[in-house]
Amino acid sequence: MSPSEVNELSVPTRNLHVRVRARQDTLHLGLHEQAFELSEVAGMIWRAMDGEADIRSVANRVAAEYEIPEDVALADVLEVVEGLLADSLITLDRPGASL
């Protein structure tokens, strides 16, 4: 699934080959020879991506945690998910999508 196909019903799953290290308010991810640093919010989004929660559910968690409107949280989550997907740090499934 490409970033252009991401929507609120997409279900993100972390790539099991990603190495994760927590340091203060950031997460550091490693995949192959690349390293990534996630902010506190992006780290929360990363942790919420369990392979079962859809993007809308993740956005609802962000909205509740940071007391922001759900539409703002959804836009933020979509942006983070698209970036993680582009870097092969996650995969996406869509409920009801044919195999």
Would you say residue 99 lies in a domain? Answer: no
Where residue 22 falls among pLDDT bands split at 50, 70, 90? very high
Cβ neighbours of residue 92 closer than 8 Å, sequence gap 6 or more: 1, 5, 6, 10, 11, 12, 13, 81, 85
Position 98 scores a pLDDT of 45
Q: Name the residue range of residue 84's domain.
A: 7-88
CATH label of the domain that carries residue 50: 1.10.10.1150
What domain count does the chain have? 1
Would you say residue 93 lies in a domain? Answer: no
CA angle 28, 33, 34 (to 5 degrees): 40
Determine the Cα–Cα distance for residues 40 and 28; give it in Å rounded to an integer.
Answer: 11
Would you say residue 97 lies in a domain? Answer: no
* pLDDT, tens digit (0-9, with 9 covering 90-100), for 28-58: 999 999 999 999 999 999 999 999 999 999 9
